[in-house]
Amino acid sequence: MDQAHKVRIFDTTLRDGEQAPGYSMNAEEKLLLAQQLAKLGVDTIEAGFAASSPGDFESVRDIGHTLKGPRVVSLCRTRFEDIDAASEALKGSFNWGLHTVIATSPLHMKHKLMMTPEEVLESSIRAVERMRSYTDSVEFSCEDATRSEPEFLVKLLTQVVAAGASILNIPDTVGYTTPTEMFRLIDRLKNEIKDADKVVFSVHCHNDLGMAVANSLAAVQAGARQVECTVNGIGERAGNASMEEIVMALKTRQQFFNLETGIVTEQIFPTSRLLTQLTGQPVQPNKAIVGANAFAHEAGIHQDGVLKNPLTYEIMTPESVGIKSNNIVLGKHSGRTALADRLKNLGYEFSRNELGRIFAEFKRLADAKKVVYDEDLEAIVTQGAVDGGGRFQLRSLNVQSGTHIMPTATVEMEVDGKVVREAHFGDGPVDAALNTIKAITRSTCHLTQYKVNAITGGTDAQGEVTVSIEDNGRTATGRGTDLDIIVASAKAYVNALNRLALRSQHVAGV
């Protein structure tokens, strides 16, 4: 691929995306998603903020030392302790770099940093020099760049290039700019920064005014050759630029942009679905590229046109983004071969042992419902990563409830390897189950959110429950799936308790 016409995809789903409320992932889930991002073909994965917590440090290290394809980076402030922590986490990785950020707008410098422009300039240079002592792959970001003074940006970026930065990132941190303004800013920086031809220009756009993708594409037209984005467009507030929208815009309108990426577009939908399964946060049906309605046609005129020629209403094929058309119905009589083929079509491939676990769970589910849908399979695939082991394991649950019966739950669990069995009442069957689990685990947490979704349609659909809990200022989110919504609720609650216990260990330095 001609590098002058290639746009690098820098994926920050595991860092900026995960910072959004409701999108927190544990270490096992982050690694699973990072491996899928590598399969997708992203150029860079921002694995986290290593200095922020022991858990993030371990996650960044595990991803960096596992992946052999994409460059893995950690975000740092310009503080030496951040840079040193990120380097310590990533050193010895197959392909890694460091990414530092400091605010450069008058508003942020005065009110957030409480620093003068001269102090920001000095801190930036020292940080880049420190990073260069560890690696040649150094990215420098000007937070709130689109509300910064262009003259100051030129001065600052010229000096960080001289200090050794190889990538200059221009973030639209609060989604304030417009495509025309973004084009002009990138064009000016490329023309006025000394040695601009020796570095890669990057953009990181937020979607507060719904223009993150448009602003990113405008920057690319002006000469930026890296775009920072997230799967499904997740991220702070209204989210980041959507990876799948940028990639497919460049591919679908290749003659217009004359640019391309290294993304394996057939892996876009499997990656999107994996993220929704891991976080329990679905995309809206009308989401471009990966939404449920993206390739759906209900209006008669549209249906007639698509049946005659799909190009009448589809500017890209479903297959090009990994949405497979498959008429094989999976049920209790299906074998391993059919299951493996469907999983492969969904973008998953497993070892014999992993497939054995999934097949056993598939058979259990197929015995309970007539048809097992793709969404059911995805829930089975990700459930192992979601559970992630832990102190508490649910063994059995029985509930009595009705119009004239006090809701009662009997629960058997393993707590640190010891079997414990108790029964408690509640205001309803779910409340009784969670009260019993809380008593068994001796937890003092309280429930802050409880959400139920049906994975598929029909009365035999699996229920997907997401819960959030809080204890002494620490929070955790858990997810569970089952045909029985009460069992799914119990699984989600136990999953959240395990995550909370793991975070408590990290805080204690265990």
The 10s digit of each residue's pLDDT in 309-335 is 777 778 888 889 988 653 345 677 777
Considering its fold, how many domains does the chain have in total? 3
Give the model's pLDDT for residue 145.
98
> Does 127 reside within a domain?
yes
Task: Tell me which of 54-63, 331-340, 480-489 is least confident.
Answer: 331-340
Residues 92 and 194 in one domain: yes
- Given 352, 385, 418, the domain boundary residue is 385
In this prediction, residues 179-187 reach a mean pLDDT of 98
pLDDT digits (tens, 9 = 90+) for 108-138: 999 999 999 999 999 999 999 999 999 999 9
The pairing of beta strand 418-425 with beta strand 167-172? unpaired
Asked if residue 295 is part of any domain, the answer here is no
Q: Say if residue 394 is in the same domain as residue 484.
A: yes
Domain span including residue 498: 388-508
Residue 292 lies in a domain: no
Lowest-confidence region among 14-28, 62-76, 180-194, 411-425: 14-28
Whether 368 and 398 map to the same domain: the answer is no
Which range among 257-271, 358-372, 403-417, 439-453 shows the weakest confidence by mean pLDDT?
A: 358-372
CATH of the domain at 442: 3.30.160.270
Last residue in a domain, options 213, 244, 279: 279
What's the rounded mean pLDDT across residues 88-111? 97
> Is residue 465 pLDDT above 50, yes or no?
yes
Report which listed range, 164-168, 363-367, 448-452, is most confident. 164-168
pLDDT at residue number 327: 38
Average pLDDT, the chain: 89
**Residues 126, 225 within the same domain:** yes
**440 with 481, same domain?**
yes
The dihedrals phi and psi of 142, each to the nearest 5 degrees, come to: -100, 95
Task: State residue 306's pLDDT score.
Answer: 55
DSSP E strands, 403-462:
405-415, 418-425, 446-454
Same domain, 349 and 399: no
- Same domain for 339 and 218: no
More confident residue, 494 or 341: 494
65 within domain boundaries: yes
pLDDT at 479 over 60: yes
Q: Are residues 60 and 113 in the same domain?
A: yes
Q: Which residue has the higher pLDDT, 467 or 10?
A: 10
Of 328, 351, 385, the last residue of a domain is 385
Q: Are strands 418-425 and 405-415 parallel, antiparallel or unpaired?
A: antiparallel
Q: Is 504 in contact with 469 (CB distance < 8 Å)?
A: no
pLDDT (tens digit, 9 = 90+) per residue, 361-412? Answer: 888 888 876 667 776 777 777 665 555 557 899 999 999 999 889 999 999 9
Integer Cα distance of 54 and 61 in angstroms:
11
Same domain, yes or no: 396 and 373: no
pLDDT value for 326: 38
Confidence of residue 356 (pLDDT cuts 50, 70, 90): confident
Q: How far is CA 150 from the centre of its chain?
A: 32
38 lies in a domain? yes
Based on the fold, state whether residues 162 and 258 are members of the same structural domain. Answer: yes
336 and 227 housed in the same domain: no
Helix (H) or strand (E) holding 56: helix 54-66
What's the mean pLDDT in 182-193?
98
- CA atoms of 420 and 390, how far apart (whole Å): 15
Whether residue 288 is contained in a domain is answered as no
Domain containing residue 150: CATH number = 3.20.20.70
CA pseudo-torsion sign 223, 87, 278, 18: negative
User: In terms of Cα–Cα distance, which of 52, 61, 8 is closest to 31?
Assistant: 61
Q: So what's the pLDDT on residue 510? A: 33
Sorting pLDDT into bands at 50, 70 and 90, what band is 254?
A: very high
Looking at mean pLDDT, say which of 183-197, 328-342, 356-370 comes out highest.
183-197
The answer to whether 64 and 32 have CB atoms below 8 angstroms apart is no
pLDDT grade, residue 31 (50/70/90)?
very high
Q: Is residue 290 part of a domain?
A: no
**Cβ 172 vs Cβ 146: under 8 Å:** yes
Q: Please give the C-alpha separations between residue 276 and each of 101, 279, 342, 382, 466, in angstroms, as whole numbers.
A: 29, 5, 19, 10, 12
* Cα–Cα distance measured from residue 128 to residue 121, given in angstroms and rounded to the nearest whole number: 11
DSSP 418: E
Question: pTM for the whole thing?
Answer: 0.74
pLDDT computed for residue 346 by the predictor: 72
Choose between 5 and 293: higher pLDDT: 5
Instruction: Say yes or no: 483 and 431 in one domain.
Output: yes
